[in-house]
Amino acid sequence: MAIEPPTIASLQSQGVPGFFVTCSNPLCLHSTPIAFETLSVDPSTPLSEIEKGRSFICPACGSRQTSTVADWFASPTTGAER
């Protein structure tokens, strides 16, 4: 049985406000936070589909090789503070 990827709605219900887009260029690794509210995406969309449906470009080096990860650090459920 496959595990379903987390949706935007499920992440928001856990206090996650958005995600990071991180440059995959090993000489750069720039990371930019993006709030879910700034995207016009259906809340039932899995986070993994955002990366597939959009072309992110690193503002620091111009690379199109990026990855996305939920912003768990901003979530009150982790107990972590920035």
User: Rounded CA gap, 11 and 4, in Å?
Assistant: 13
Reported as a single tens digit per residue, the pLDDT across 3-29 is 899 999 999 999 999 999 999 999 999
Number of domains in the chain: 1
The percent of residues in the chain predicted with pLDDT above 70, rounded, is 90
pLDDT at 82: 45
Cα 50 from chain centroid (whole Å): 8
pTM of the model: 0.81
Residue 52 lies in a domain: yes
Residue 1 lies in a domain: no
User: Rounded CA gap, 67 and 6, in Å?
Assistant: 16
Containing domain of residue 52, as a range? 8-74
Residue 82 lies in a domain: no
pLDDT at 65: 94
